[in-house]
Every structure is written in structure tokens, then in C-alpha cells.
Structure 1
Amino acid sequence: MATEHQRGIKGPAIFLAQFAGDAAPFDSLPNIARWAADLGYRGIQLPVDPRFIDLDRAAESKDYCDEIAGICREAGVEITELSTHMQGQLVAVHPAYAAQFDGFAPAELRGKPREQSEWAAGQVIKAARASRHLGLDVQVGFSGALAWPYLYPWPQRPAGLIDEAFAELARRWQPILDAHEEQGVDYAYELHPGEDLMDGASFERFLEETGNHARVAINYDPSHFVLQQLDYLGFIDHYASRIRAFHVKDAEFLPSARQGVYSGFSGWTDRAGRFRSLGDGQVDFAGVFSRLTLAGYRGWAVLEWECCIKSAAQGAAEGAPFIEAHLIEPTETAFDDFAGGDAPDRGALRSMLGLD
């Protein structure tokens, strides 16, 4: 489905993970697709959720994927990317977090971390095949984490601990990334606290461990960088060639005399850094869309709603016009072209410089 902003960033789109449920209109693909379209969205980022897609069938059958795409098209939207955030998380889980992530796995695998990791890797690979059947070039998700409990360097970390963690993380992802290479699909990691890939430094470490794998990409989300106090605009300039997906999510950082980045174990509403609905936080979205446009990003702008104050319904309703207002149609001419003329020859240029 072409959009009027085809030459620039595409949108608006919405990530459905936070809205999926067992009640209409969030209980089936036809229902939720129509809901999104009615709010003004042109795209939906689809979590690999059995309510929306049968991953086994999608991995094996292009005809089935054509049916899925047709349902979306009839509703007025298209699929932007498949999301395997929960499955990617289970590729690597430190034992300290095993109980908290146990619910991400099928019931028969609860309490079996090794089996969960193998299952998760298989799911992400199937999603790569499904992406190809759907005509998608990018899949998004998490990296998982083995080193996260050792984020703060106290007590002193044994030499080689982090190197070993990233080597193992890369070892687990290597066959998954190779499968993505076979399908011509990038895997865009959402750089996120709680994942071993959380910022540029950790992304570079992982990229090096994978031998600079061509399919290692970034799902850019400035909200996580606000919470880390990272230069999220400069990040775009530095990693533009690897940014293949974009979550439009707002956040704010309000440090006080009582708390800063770590926020003293406070809950979301009481933290110094917290997620907000679009326009309610501190992200400079005019700067973000401008930098991404200049960098040549031509993928989708996808709302991810996570706000500790505003309702999901209001956040979703406000998201489409907000993104629409920030989309940029790239210029094909310079603003001062009217003042130019024919390109002079070299002699004329040297004469202008007084070089005869």
C-alpha cells in the first residue's frame, strides 16, 4: 500500500503488543486491524501472537501469508514488521530472571530454560521465513541478556566476564542471524535496558562478536535513550546504516535530590525516568524525524505506547495525528536553486578564486 509520504519515512503505524487482548476489538487480526485503521494508522507492527498469526503456517505457506496481508489490506493497513520481542528475550536469560520471564514460554516449557532458549530461537527463525512470505525485509525484537545483572561494576567484575557473556550471546544468535541472511531479512534489535544490547557501546560489542553480521540491525527508540541520558540525536548520525526500524515513543527524565537514573527501585509513576505518551515527554521528535530523514531512513514510524499516566485508548488516538504531523517529504531541490545558473567550467572557477 503506497502512502503519500512514500519518498520519506512511512507512517503512521502502531505496535500492537500493548493492545492485544481477549476482548474485541483487540482479540483478532481483522478486528484490531480495523481499529488501527479507524484511528488513522496506515501500518501495524504485528507481534507473533496466535490471536493474530499462526507462525507455523506463516513460516511454511506464502498463500497463508497472502491471506493475512489481504485481511490487513481490506481493513486499510499493512504489516510493517513482525515482532518477536518475547521470543528474542528467551534466547538468552540469566538465571536471576528466569522466573520473571517464564511466562513468555509455552506452558509445557515452564521451568526449563534450556528448552525455552531452543524454542525461542526456532520461533525467531520461523518469523524470518514468515517475514519473507509477507514481503518484509525487517523483523524486530529483543536480544535477551546474560550480562545484565553485572551492569554496575561493583562488586568488581572478574576479568573476562562480560567478554564471555557477549561471546555466548553471539553464539546463540549466530544461527538465527544466518537464517535471516538466507531469507534476506534484517533483525532489528530494540536497544533496551534489561537487554544486553542497551546502547551503542553494547551494540558494537555484540556486532563485533558476530563478525559484523550483515543482518544485525537496530530498532531505534529514543525513549530508552532519554532514560539513560544518552545523546539520542547523535546516535542517529553514528548508527544510521544499521537503523532499520523506528519506535516512536516519548519519555521524560526528571532527576531530583532524591533520585536519578536508578530511581531507588521506584515504580514507573515515581521514577525520575518514565515513559510518556507522544508529546507529553521530552523527546525532540522534530529533531528525530529530521535526522532520520537526512540519514536516508525510509522505513516505518511505529507508535509504541507505554505511558504511566495517560490511558492506552487516548494514547493510541493521539498517536496517529502526532506522527502524521512529523512526517517529512524529502526535498529534491535546494532552496536557493533559483539563484544559481549553469555550472561554470574549471577555468571560470579558477578565475573566481583569483587563480587565473
Structure 2
Amino acid sequence: MKTIQGPGIFLAQFIGPAAPFNTLEGLAGWAASLGYQGLQIPTSDPAIFDLERAADSDAYCDEVTGLLAAHGLQVTELSTHLQGQLLCVHPAYDLQFDAFAAPQVRGNPVARTAWAHEQLLLAAKASKRLGLKAHASFSGALAWPYLYPWPQRPPGLVEAAFAELARRWRPVLDAFDDAGVDVCYELHPGEDLHDGVTFERFLDAVGQHPRANILYDPSHFVLQQLDYLAFIDHYHERIRAFHVKDAEFRPNGRQGVYGGFSDWADRAGRFRSLGDGQIDFKAIFSKMAQHDYAGWAVLEWECCLKHPEDGAREGAAFIRDHIIRVADRAFDDFAASAGDPRTLATLLGLQP
């Protein structure tokens, strides 16, 4: 068995205009002061991390790793959540998602898709230069507007959506394969890959591609009322990244799973800071240890109530205290008994 690495922290929710949150060095010093050992770095803000330079320059990658090492930190994964989202966008979301793209491709869906594709290829190269083994992203969505079939979906619509999703992702997955890096899709409502069934459908569409893997985040499963522990048993071989994020689901007589028109604080399903929600993280970390997950445990902070800096401070200790240092021997080794063939045969009554 292997011991999970961590605690790590995903920087996306903490980047801001004021120090220390406006530079990678400032963020690194802040995260290290809280007890984090790794940073999951978004690649959509060149002021924090220059993806193009990282893809082309060993010197730049050495500069980044050296900067983090000075604070006792490592890169856990790079993230292209926004660029992955833009690889596949239903026209209903064009205007809203344009803000995620580079200014020169906004208002032009074809150019935006091509830009997202190139960004993902750059991420594969950058991950390789940094010596990483996993990469975090979103799948994007073409079929999401048709999730609840009213009016009834025409036959073949979902199949066509996943065929197109696979067509766009297959060359990206091949590029990550060449780089020796797994693409870990965060299964997330709003994405076409949002649960086990949709992930399996995508796997079939990309020919069971070995680089198509999962970023496990139990918070999204709580909000869907999916069994997040059984999910690990089903898909542990494909889980290559891990967001430690809490959530709660408290339905009432007025709303349930489809309570998304309410503000976050008023929804039945809400993301919470670690320890404030309902997720059984002791069981999750136990299952991850049982199934030999050797990657990072990374805080993704999202909470509609608690201040982010408090959530980050509490999250480092929470993750550290939940990581199981796996045993290097069986607990009953003290009662060792001989296991040679003659003894075994005797115990089974096979030895005269």
C-alpha cells in the first residue's frame, strides 16, 4: 500500500489583486505558512503561471520548481479547468464562457475551440517538463442542456454529443500520452462527464484511452446524491487526482437536488469548508489507502459561509490529520506461523 501525498491546495479560488495572492511567490509563502506541501496551479493567468513559457522552457520550469522548493513546496498538478471547459461549449453558454477565453478569440466559437485545444496541448508539454504524472481539467459539455429530457430528447442526441466530445478530446489525450501524463477529469455537474455512467460512456467513445482518468471530488457526488464511497470501489483504477472538498445536502419540503435557482446559501445542496459538511472523509481516506492511491490530497475550497482564508488555514490540518500512513507489515505479524510447503500440507491434512 502507498501513503497519500499532502496536504496540497488548489490556488484558483485564492488568486486575487492584493498581496500575497497576486503572485506565485506570494501564494507559495502563504500556503507554506499554513502547512501545505503542494500547490495545484491553474494555468489561465500568466501573471501566476505562464503556460506558454512552461511548455517551451526548461529554465522557466526550473524557476517555478525552485521558487516552490524554497518554501518546501511541490507542484501537485497543473489545471486547465477553464480551457478544458472551452473545448466543448454548447451555444447556449457561448456568451458566459467567452470570459474564460483569451480576448482575441472571444465572440468566435470556432477560434475559441481551437485556442482551447492549443492550450491543452501546451499543458501536456508543460506537465512533462515539470515531471508531473497527472493533470486536472474539465471535459466541457455539449449535452448538458438536455440533461432532464423535457421535451423528450430525439434518439441519438446523447450518442452524437459524446462522439463529438471524444473527437475533440482524442488528440489531446494522445498528446498527454506522449507526455506520460494522465488527464484527470473533475466529474462535475455542468460537464458532460459528471458521474460514473457518463465517464464510462466517454471511455467507450475514446476507446478506453489509458490517459482518460478521474479527479475524484466527493462534494459533487453529495449534491447529486451519488454514493461517493462505492464510487471509489468502482473506479479506483482510474482515480489519479483528488480534491478534498466538503458538502452537505439537506432537502426540505420546498427544494431538493434541483434547487440551483436559489442562491448558494439557500440551496439544499451546498459546498462547505472541510469539516463543516456531511462527507465521511475518514472513510474516503481509508478507501484511497486500501486501493493504493499514491497521488496528492488537494484542498479545493468553496464555501458560501466561511471566509476563504479560514477555510484554507483549517484545511491544511484537516487533510494532514486524515492522511493514513499505511502499514509496512501486517498487524498480526507478531503471531507469525510457518508457511513452508510441508507445514501447509500438514495443516490441510495432506501430509502423512
What band does the TM-score fall into relative to the shorter chain?
A: over 0.9
Give the deviation of 1:56 after TM superposition.
1.1
Deviations 1:30-86 (A, max 9, x none): 111101001110000000021211111111111110111111111221110000000
Q: Does 1:10 find its partner at 2:5?
A: yes
Q: Output the CA distance in 1 between the equivalents of 2:147 and 2:263.
A: 20
SS in 2 for 1:325: helix
Q: Output the CA distance in 2 between the equivalents of 1:76 and 1:355.
A: 58
Q: Output the CA distance in 1 between the equivalents of 2:71 and 2:260.
A: 45
Q: 2:20 aligns with which of 16, 25, 40?
A: 25
TM-score scaled by structure 1? 0.96
The corresponding residue for 2:162 is: 166
State the AA in 1 paired with 2:68.
C
Q: 1:77 aligns with which of 66, 73, 76?
A: 73
The corresponding residue for 1:67 is: 63
Q: Output the CA distance in 1 between the equivalents of 2:336 and 2:30.
A: 50
SS in 2 for 1:75: coil
State the AA in 2 paired with 1:159.
P
State the AA in 2 paired with 1:172.
R
Deviations 1:6-36 (A, max 9, x none): 9400000100000011211011111111010
The corresponding residue for 1:206 is: 202
State the AA in 1 paired with 2:324.
I
The within-5 A match list for 1:168-317 is 168-263=164-259, 265-317=261-313
SS in 1 for 2:83: helix
State the AA in 2 paired with 1:314.
D
Structure 1 contact 34–76 (Cα < 8 Å) conserved: no
Q: Output the CA distance in 2 between the equivalents of 1:350 and 1:185.
A: 47
Give the deviation of 1:156 after TM superposition.
1.0
Give the deviation of 1:351 after TM superposition.
4.2
SS in 2 for 1:256: coil
The corresponding residue for 1:157 is: 153
Give the deviation of 1:349 after TM superposition.
3.4
Of stretches 34-43 and 331-340 in structure 1, the one that deviates more from structure 2 is 331-340
SS in 2 for 1:103: helix
Equivalent pairs counted in the alignment come to 350
State the AA in 2 paired with 1:33.
A
SS in 2 for 1:263: coil
Give the deviation of 1:345 after TM superposition.
2.4
Deviations 1:174-214 (A, max 9, x none): 11111111111110000000000000000000011001111
Q: Output the CA distance in 1 between the equivalents of 2:130 and 2:183.
A: 15
Q: Output the CA distance in 1 between the equivalents of 2:136 and 2:121.
A: 12
The corresponding residue for 1:52 is: 48
Q: 2:339 aligns with which of 337, 343, 347?
A: 343
Q: Output the CA distance in 2 between the equivalents of 1:254 and 1:353.
A: 55
Seen in structure 2, the aligned counterparts of structure 1 residues 147 and 330 have a Cα distance that, compared at 3 Å, is: same
Q: Output the CA distance in 1 between the equivalents of 2:120 and 2:23.
A: 21
Q: Does 1:38 find its partner at 2:33?
A: yes
Q: Output the CA distance in 2 between the equivalents of 1:76 and 1:350.
A: 54
Q: Output the CA distance in 2 between the equivalents of 1:271 and 1:176.
A: 36
The corresponding residue for 1:3 is: none
Q: Output the CA distance in 2 between the equivalents of 1:234 and 1:7.
A: 20
Q: Does 1:330 find its partner at 2:330?
A: no
SS in 2 for 1:14: strand
Q: Output the CA distance in 1 between the equivalents of 2:57 and 2:47.
A: 18
Q: Output the CA distance in 2 between the equivalents of 1:264 and 1:131.
A: 35
Q: Output the CA distance in 2 between the equivalents of 1:284 and 1:182.
A: 37
Structure 1 contact 190–220 (Cα < 8 Å) conserved: yes
The corresponding residue for 1:142 is: 138
SS in 1 for 2:70: helix
Deviations 1:72-122 (A, max 9, x none): 111221110000000000000001111111100112211111111110110
Structure 1 contact 59–126 (Cα < 8 Å) conserved: yes
Give the deviation of 1:255 after TM superposition.
0.7
The corresponding residue for 2:119 is: 123
The corresponding residue for 1:320 is: 316
State the AA in 1 paired with 2:215.
N
User: 5+ residue gaps in structure 1?
Assistant: 1-5
